[in-house]
């Protein structure tokens, strides 16, 4: 059975090659072989014959929002996670890891006035605040907040300022 080896670009330790079987799949399924239909094989052959190589779509950046299904604040989370990743993305116990984890649990970003001020105060600049999403109870959120977010209060305060976490424009 002819196959076309297509490298899948991933971090080096996860890199592998997928063999595309271009004939009908055998009765026994091999988990290492993906069997596309004839149109997929024809399109891939066309690309390989004309271009000489296959370049898959670039992967998402490491700071991609882990919950793109929560669209109301998706863009703000992208900006916040990127800033946090640039701050300490390599530290597994850093603010980036804490924010990414809490977002996985459905946390949201809401516009909030600075502490002790109203939005009408002269010179007051609003900021963003983290609030729990629907996936966690209040008790669960408060427990995770105290364990993972509170140790990063200083960095979070800086990152949640309007200039760091995107514009103050509300969705709508």
- Could you write out the three-class secondary structure of 134-147? CCCCHHHHHHHHHH
- The overall pTM is greater than 0.75: no
- The two most distant CA atoms of the chain are separated, in Å, by 74
What is the rounded distance in angstroms from the CA atom of residue 144 to the CA atom of residue 155? 17
Instruction: Name the token pair of 66.
Output: 């882990």
| pLDDT by 10s per residue, the chain, length 172 | 455 555 554 444 444 444 444 444 445 555 555 566 777 778 777 877 787 776 777 788 989 999 999 999 999 999 999 999 999 998 989 999 999 999 999 999 998 876 655 545 455 556 899 999 999 999 999 999 999 999 999 999 999 986 544 544 444 3
Residue 127: predicted pLDDT:
85
pLDDT of the residue at 13 = 42
**Measured distance CA(108)–CA(123) in Å, rounded:** 26
Pair 165, 109: CB distance under 8 Å: yes
């Amino acid at each position: 059975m002819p196959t076309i080896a297509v490298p899948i670009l991933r971090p080096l330790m996860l890199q592998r090659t997928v063999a595309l079987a271009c004939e009908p799949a055998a009765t026994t399924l091999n988990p290492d072989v993906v069997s596309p239909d004839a149109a997929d094989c024809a399109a891939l052959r066309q690309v390989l014959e004309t271009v000489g190589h296959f370049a898959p779509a670039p992967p998402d950046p490491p700071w991609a929002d882990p919950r793109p299904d929560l669209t109301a604040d998706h863009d703000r989370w992208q900006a916040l996670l990127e800033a946090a990743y640039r701050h300490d993305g390599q530290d597994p116990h850093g603010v980036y890891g804490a924010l990414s984890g809490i977002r996985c649990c459905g946390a949201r970003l809401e516009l909030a006035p600075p502490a002790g001020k109203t939005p009408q105060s002269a010179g007051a600049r609003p900021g963003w605040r983290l609030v729990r999403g629907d996936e966690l109870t209040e008790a669960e959120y408060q427990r995770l907040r105290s364990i993972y977010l509170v140790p990063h209060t200083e960095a979070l305060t800086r990152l949640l300022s309007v200039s760091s976490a995107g514009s103050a424009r509300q969705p709508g």
